[in-house]
Amino acid sequence: MGGGGLDLAAMKKLIALVALALMSQPAFAEDAPKWSLAIHGGAGTLDPAQMTPEKRAAYEADLQAALDAGAKILAGGGDAMDAVKAAIIIMEDSPLFNAGKGAVFTWDGTNELDASIMDGRDRSAGAVAGVKTVKNPILLADTVRTQSEHVFLVGKGAEEFAVSKGFAVMPPEYFATPARREALERLKAEKLSALDVDHKFGTVGAVALDTKGNLAAGTSTGGMTGKRWGRVGDAPLIGAGTYADNRACAVSATGWGEYFIRVGVAHEICARLRAFEEFRALEVEGGEVPAEVLAKAPQQIADSVMADVAQLGGDGGVIVVTPEGQAIFSFNTTGMYRGRATSTGVNEVAIFGGEEKVSATPDH
């Protein structure tokens, strides 16, 4: 070559360096630890016309605070179980959601709280129902998981267990809010159903994947306005409102609990995803399953299970996180208070259908 050009040896060296750089970038992105988080604060027949800018801002702020609390733990290499608890505690402490402070009233004018949590590593689980004195039921559910030989404790027994483990006893007025009391009074005065006054199923929940590849799920609720006779919905039931399995997914549900129990929604979604993964692992003629099919499978499975709920007459929604880091929502209502954040830069909250701005499917 003439002038100031590169000789052949130098050109080959430059090409090799560029090729090496190009090859190393995807490998680094693929090998980088990934994490994912999704949260919900209830689903239902939400009316955009009734959502004032101030009310929307308040919900979005609390959803973002919950999302940030969990995402901070995951981004720092923390545990999925800790991220789930951190996110749910924020929503239990907010009077905007039907869990912990701000829980709906039973027919008798009390607040009865339910919660469950599950670790996808070993499928250990804890749950409580009908507790009236515990500020953060999700923490009591986890204590049942870690400090007892049981999975599910209810009512007075669950509260006695809480005291034995050092939980403070909260007075009834801590949980009560004027809006929830008004809803009960209107239900009784106008002889309405819980669906008429609630408009949404105010359960809160979170699902997470941590950088070590572990999944976790948790759910907490005050149930339905005017509930009687010790009614318990799907939120504290492992397999109905909550499920996590490292081999498949983590799910938290919110909706008309009776129908979610009948379908076994959370476990059903995980079971179908696990079956899909096992089928994909088989050496079948025709080669590997196309990448686009793999990417769409979790959403399609969640939508199919929610369609089953709708066919029976129920409604609500689910949040799902997969081992690959997908964070998805599926709901058959007009809206669901929700949010998601991932290691790929996704960070968003939404209320009504179709408000997501970006995909939450990680690039691989």
Q: Is it the case that residue 194 has pLDDT exceeding 90?
A: no
Q: Is it the case that residue 287 has pLDDT exceeding 70?
A: no
Tens digit of pLDDT for each residue in 200-219?
A: 557 999 999 999 999 999 99
262 φ/ψ sector (left φ>0, alpha ψ -120 to 50, else beta): alpha
The answer to whether residue 216 is domain-embedded is: yes
| DSSP-derived pairing of the beta strands 347-352 and 335-342 | antiparallel
| Banded pLDDT at 3 (limits 50, 70, 90) | very low
Which one from 133, 143, 203, 219 is the annotated catalytic residue?
203
DSSP 246: T
| Banded pLDDT at 308 (limits 50, 70, 90) | very high
> Among all chains, which residue has been given the structure tokens 């799902």?
320
- Rounded-to-10 torsion of CA 352, 358, 362, 364: 150
| DSSP-derived pairing of the beta strands 215-221 and 113-119 | antiparallel
The answer to whether residue 25 is domain-embedded is: no
The answer to whether residue 256 is domain-embedded is: yes
Going by C-alpha positions, the residue among 83, 148, 138 that lies closest to residue 115 is: 138
Helix, strand, or coil (residue 362)? coil
The answer to whether residue 9 is domain-embedded is: no
Higher pLDDT: 252 or 47? It is 252
What average pLDDT does the structure give for the chain? 86
Residue 203 appears among annotated catalytic residues:
yes
| Banded pLDDT at 182 (limits 50, 70, 90) | confident
- Identify the H or E element spanning 17: helix 8-31
Going by C-alpha positions, the residue among 265, 232, 249, 280 that lies closest to residue 331 is: 265
The answer to whether residue 20 is domain-embedded is: no
Domain extent at residue 336? 33-352
The answer to whether residue 21 is domain-embedded is: no
Give the range among 112-126, 152-166, 290-304 with minimum mean pLDDT. 290-304
* Whole-number Å distance between alpha carbons of 216 and 140: 16
What CATH number is given to the structural domain containing 339? 3.60.20.30
Overall average pLDDT of the 273-283 stretch: 80
What integer pLDDT is reported at residue 361 of this predicted model?
42
| Banded pLDDT at 356 (limits 50, 70, 90) | low
The answer to whether residue 2 is domain-embedded is: no
Tens digit of pLDDT for each residue in 132-147?
A: 999 999 999 999 999 9
Tens digit of pLDDT for each residue in 66-110?
A: 999 999 999 999 999 999 999 999 999 999 999 999 999 888 999
* Whole-number Å distance between alpha carbons of 272 and 243: 13
The residues with which 114 forms a beta bridge, in sequence order, are 221
pTM: 0.86
Number of domains in the chain: 1
The answer to whether residue 6 is domain-embedded is: no
Q: Do residues 237 and 261 make contact, with C-beta atoms less than 8 angstroms apart? A: yes
Tens digit of pLDDT for each residue in 10-29?
A: 444 433 443 343 333 333 34
